[in-house]
Amino acid sequence: MNHKICCIFNIGAHYRAPIYSLMDKELECSFYFGDTVFTPIKTMDYSLLKGYKKTVKNKKIAKGWVWQSNVWQLIFKPYKYYIINSSPYYASNWVILLLAKLSGKKVFAWTHGIKGGETGKSKFLNKVFYKLCDTVLLYGEKSMRTMIKEGFNKNKLVPIYNSLYYDEQLEVRKKLVPSEIYSNHFKNDAPTLIYIGRIQKSKKLDLLVKAVHLINKEERKCNLVFIGKEVEDNEIQSLVNELNITEQVWFYGSSYNETEIGELLYNAAVCVSPGPVGLTAIHAATYGLPIISNDDFYNQMPEHEVIKEGESGGFYKDGDFEDLCLKINDWIDSNPNKRQKAENQLHRIIDEKYNPHYQIKVLKQVLNYS
């Protein structure tokens, strides 16, 4: 069968391997990936996809604008549908959209959509771009509500959420039991906070380190674990040394081993991401771990929607260090019953929405695939 669906993506991030593999198997897509998003990111093995066609060059052409080489010509190929997952600032997407309108083909954007904080030129470009798309597949419901308020037809806005290695993680989750991984490492029984993801300034991890320092000056104690790679000079390790809490902080490093990650997350007290939370929330929620992040929802990542205030984590007032500490203390002091309810709620939302099986179901519906 000839592939009817052409996927033109800005890059093939490693965590998308499960959903792209399902699309490859069940939708018979052709895949074209950009070579960079201009920040360090681990990519999947494209050879796993029988529909993989080509990696193209992403070139910066002006401030904030990118051009994907040799993709607009794909509109003349015998595809019926085109799925793009980049922003209005990918200039080549405009050419694809306009030519699709002339040729009667359909374009689906898989995107953040409009968050609500855009103004002026940015807001205008976003509105025009997404109105040209036949369907907008969104990472969350907040952007859908925002776009409806901006006059979009709700029938063309479809939440598809996000996902990680769900099937593998589910098998790990089924086998998890409490362990002594933290008491063995830290030589104490204090609750452990955890952060998983790239260690970079935008995540405001200095606030988390300072919170651990403050909590340990009080009667209650806590430990902290970082899982992830330092991707820029953020001075987190220097801050830990300066505050003299090296014995309370474990820089675990990068890991793609879900058995290791599952044990670390499951045995922690709470996951804390003081900046935008992103995929960190999905990873923690998969293993039932409550999550704390900030309440600046215009700049939050859509995955913050897995968190229900007071039930499966919470949001501190952005910029309010004391409130962050209060939220952390609320969860490290929480009783087993509260933790169990949070775990059940987080498992439920991941199992219902934030997994590749739900995503492929959504794609089949919007593509009228049978």
Domain span holding position 332: 167-352
**Residue 106 phi, psi (nearest 5):** -110, 140
pLDDT of residue 98: 97
Contacts 24+ apart (CB under 8 A), 350-353: 350/166, 350/282, 350/285, 350/286, 350/306, 353/159, 353/161
Q: What is the mean pLDDT of residues 133-148?
A: 97
Q: Residue range 180-195: average pLDDT?
A: 97
In this structure, of 45-49, 95-99, 214-218, the range with the lowest mean pLDDT score is 214-218
pLDDT, tens digit, 9 for 90 and up, residues 319-368: 999 999 999 999 998 889 999 999 999 999 999 999 999 999 999 999 98
Q: pLDDT value at position 2?
A: 55
Q: Could you tell me which residues come within 8 angstroms of residue 209 by beta carbon, excluding any fewer than 6 positions away? A: 224, 236, 239, 240, 243, 245, 249
| Sheet of strand 106-111, all strands in order from the earlier edge strand to the far edge | 52-56, 29-34, 5-9, 81-84, 106-111, 135-138, 157-159
Report residue 233's pLDDT band, with 50, 70 and 90 as the boundaries: low
Structure letter (DSSP) for residue 360? H
Instruction: Please tell me whether residues 122 and 177 are part of one structural domain.
Output: no
pLDDT in tens, 114-125: 988 888 899 999
For residues 331 and 209, membership in a common domain is answered with yes
List the structure tokens of 204.
């405001």
Amino acid found at 188: N
Q: Calculate mean pLDDT across residues 73-97.
A: 95
Cα 230–233–236 angle (5° rounding)? 70
For residues 68 and 179, membership in a common domain is answered with no
The pLDDT assigned to 1 comes to 41
Residues 119 and 229 in one domain: no
Q: Return the percentage of the chain with pLDDT > 90, whole number.
A: 89
Location of structure tokens 């490693």: 14
Q: Note whether 159 and 205 are same-domain residues.
A: no
Whether residues 132 and 175 fall in one domain:
no
For 155-187, write each residue's pLDDT tens digit: 999 999 999 999 999 999 999 999 999 999 999
As for how many domains the chain has, the answer is 2
pTM of the model: 0.94
CA distance 293 to 300: 9
Q: What CATH number corresponds to the domain at position 312?
A: 3.40.50.2000
Q: Which amino acid is at 4?
A: K
Q: What is the pLDDT of residue 119?
A: 84
Is 238's pLDDT higher than 60?
yes
